[in-house]
Amino acid sequence: MISAHDISRRLGDRNIPDRVSVEIAPGEVTAIIGPNGAGKSTLLKCLTGATPVDRGEVRLDGRPLGEFTLRELACRRAVLSQGAAVTFPFLVTEVVAMGRAPHGGNGTSFADAAIIRQALEYVDAWHLCDRVFPTLSGGERQRVQLARVLAQVWETQGAYLFLDEPTSELDLKHQHQVLQLARQLAIEQGMGVCVVMHDLNLVRRYADRAIVLRAGACVAAGLVADTVTAETVAEVFEVAPELVFGG
Amino acid sequence: MTASAQTSASPHRPVVRRRSPLPLLIVLLAVAAAGAASIGAVSIPFPDMLSGNLSDQQEAVLLGIRLPRVLLAVVVGAGLAVSGAALQGLFRNPLADPGLIGIASGAALAVAMVIVLAGPLTGLFGLYGLAVAAFCGGVGTCILIFRITRMSGAFSVTYMLLSGIAINAIAMAGTGFMTYLSDDQQLRALTFWTMGSLGGALWPAVIVVATVVVPAILVLIRNAGEINILLLGEEEARHLGVDSDRLKLIIVLCAAFSVGAAVAVSGIIGFVGLVVPHLVRLTIGPDHRLLIPASAVLGGILLVVADTFARILVAPAEMPVGILTSMIGGPFFLWLLFKQYSGRFGL
C-alpha cells in the first residue's frame, strides 16, 4: 500500500498538490484524472518520491519513502514518466535492459534476456528489438519505454507501477492493449497500478478507482462508479456529461 | 503473464553484447606509439629500438624526448577523449566537447592568470599548481554551463552551444587581457597554451597528467553502467535506483580533472573530445561500458598520430598540434551538424 497523508507541495503561490490524502492499493488500477494543470503529474511525482513534499508524508507499506534507498525503491516500484527522451543510438533491447539495473543485472544473463523479451512482447514491440531507439516513432518509443518499466518490476510480487499518460501517443488499439495489460498486472500479480490519464471512457473501462484533482486539490476519490459521474464531469472538466456518457 | 512466459520459453536471444574493440585498439596504439617514437629529426629504426642497438644520441633522444612526448600524447588524448565521452553523457548530447562548450578555455584562462599574476612556476610543484588552476577553471566553467543549460528546462543543444560561445568569448577576453599584461617570456608561454602543443613534453609533465587522468578514467569506467542509465533522464535514472546527483558530480569532477591536467601541460587541443567518442559510437554503439575505455585508447592513438604529423609536416619547425586537431575537427563538427539537420541518428 502506498499512502499519502495530507501532502502539499508549494509551487509559486499555490499548493500543488494541496492537502491531498490518497492510497494506491495493490491489486487495483487507480486513475488520477483532472483538467490540465490540476497537478496530476505532480501528485504522481510526490507519490513516487521524485518530488519532495513540503507537508505531509508518503509511505510505502507503512514506511516513509525517505527511509528507502533509491535502489530499494527501484526494486519495489517502476515509473513511466512523460517524454523521457533518449537521444543516443541505443538499441531497443538495450533500453529495456536498463530496467533490470536495480536487480544488479546488466541485461546479458539468460533470465534477464527472457524478461526483456517477454516485456517487449507484452507491449507488442518485440519486432522492434533490433531497431535503434531514437529512430522509432512516438508511439513505438512509448511502448518500448513501457516495456523497460515492466522489466523493472517483472518478477516482483506486490510491486507498484506508476504510469504518467502512458497512452498519449498510442493508437486506439495500443491504448486498449496497454490499459488491458495494466489491469492484468494488477489482477494476476497483485500490482498496484497508478495511471495519469485523460480519456474518461478508458478510465471507466479499465480503472478500479479514480482520484479527481482540480487546482491541486482532491475533489473526489474512490471507486470509478462513484467518482466519474455526470456531476464531476460537468463540474470539474466543464464538459457536458453526455459527451462522456453518451446521449 | 504466465501464458506469455510459456509461449516464449524457447531460447531467448540475449541482449546483443557488442564485441569489445579494445584488443584491436590497443594493438593499433602500440603500432602508432612505436611509429611516433621512431620518426623524427633523429631517425630511430624500430628494430634497433627493440634490440637496444642504439647510439648514445639515439638513446638520449628516445628516452629524453620521444618517449615522454609519445606517452604524454597518449595520456592527454585519452583524457580529452574520455572527458568528452563523459560530458556527452552528462549533457545527454553528443555535441558536447570540453573545447566547444568552453571548459577548456575556462581552464586556459585560469592557467593564464596563474602564469601572468603568480609569476614563474617550474618543476613538479609548478606543474601541479598549473593543473590545479586549470582544474578549478574547468570545474567552475562546467558547473556554470550545466546551470545555464538546465535553465531552459530540458537540456537543450542550443543553450549548451550558445552558452559555450559566450563562455569562450569571455574566457578569450580574459586570456587576451592577461596577454596584454604579460611580459615577453610570459607571452611566449601564453601563446603556446592557447594554440595547444605537446612540445613541452618532459617526464614531470607525463607524471603529473598520468596521475590525474588515469584515476579519472578508472572512476568513469566504474560508473559507466550508471552513465548509460543517466541517458534516460535524471528522474528516470533515480527511479531506476541511480543517485543521479552523485553521478553528475562524479562526471563533472572526472571530466574537469582530466581536461584541467591536459590543458595545464599542453594547452587547448580541441575536438579530440568530440571526434573520438563519435567514431567509437558509430562502430560499437553508445554503451559507456565499452565507449569509455575504447575512447581512451582511440584518443591516445589519434593524438599520437596527430602529434607526429605536427612534428614532421613543417620540419624542421614544428606546428602546434592543436591547430591540426582543429583543422580536422572543425569540418567533422560541421558534418555532424549537417547529419543532424538531415535527421539521421537522432542527435
Residue B103, pLDDT > 80, answer yes
Q: Which residue of chain B is at minimal alpha-carbon distance from A93?
A: B15
pLDDT of B346 reads 43
**Unique residue bearing C-alpha cell 517487449:** A120
What is the nearest CA distance from B64 to chain A, expressed in angstroms?
Answer: 43
The set of cell numbers assigned to A86 is 533518449
B93 contacts chain A (CB < 8 A): yes
Work out the minimum CA distance from A78 to partner chain B, whole angstroms: 7
Contact state of A102 with B240 under an 8 Å Cβ cutoff: yes
ipTM: 0.91
pLDDT at B5: 39
Residue contact A129–B13, C-beta within 8 A: yes
Q: How far apart are CA B99 and CA B253, in angstroms?
A: 16
pLDDT of residue B202: 84
Percent of chain B predicted with pLDDT > 90: 31
| pTM (2 d.p.) | 0.87
Residue in A with minimal Cα distance to B244: A70
- Residues from chain A that touch B17, judged by Cβ atoms under 8 A, are 108
Q: Is the Cβ of B14 closer than 8 Å to some Cβ of chain A?
A: yes
pLDDT of residue A84: 67
pLDDT tens digits along A13-70 = 888 999 999 999 999 999 999 999 899 999 999 999 988 899 999 999 999 999 999 9
Write the CB contacts of B91 (distance below 8 Å, at least 6 apart in sequence): B101, B146, B149, B155, B160
Backbone φ, ψ for residue B150 (5° rounding):
-80, -15
Contact B12 A110 (CB under 8 A): yes
Q: What confidence score (pLDDT) does residue B263 get?
A: 86
User: Closest partner residue to A107 among B4, B15, B347, by Cβ?
Assistant: B15
Q: What is the pLDDT of residues B71-90, one digit of tens each?
A: 999 999 999 999 999 999 98
Closest CA to A119 of A85, A88, A81, A145: A145
CA gap A24, A37 in Å, rounded: 22
Residues of B in contact with A114 (CB under 8 A): 8, 12
3-state secondary structure of A240: coil
Q: Are B169 and B110 in contact (CB under 8 A)?
A: no
- What number is the average pLDDT over the span B100-122? 81
- Length of chain B equals 347
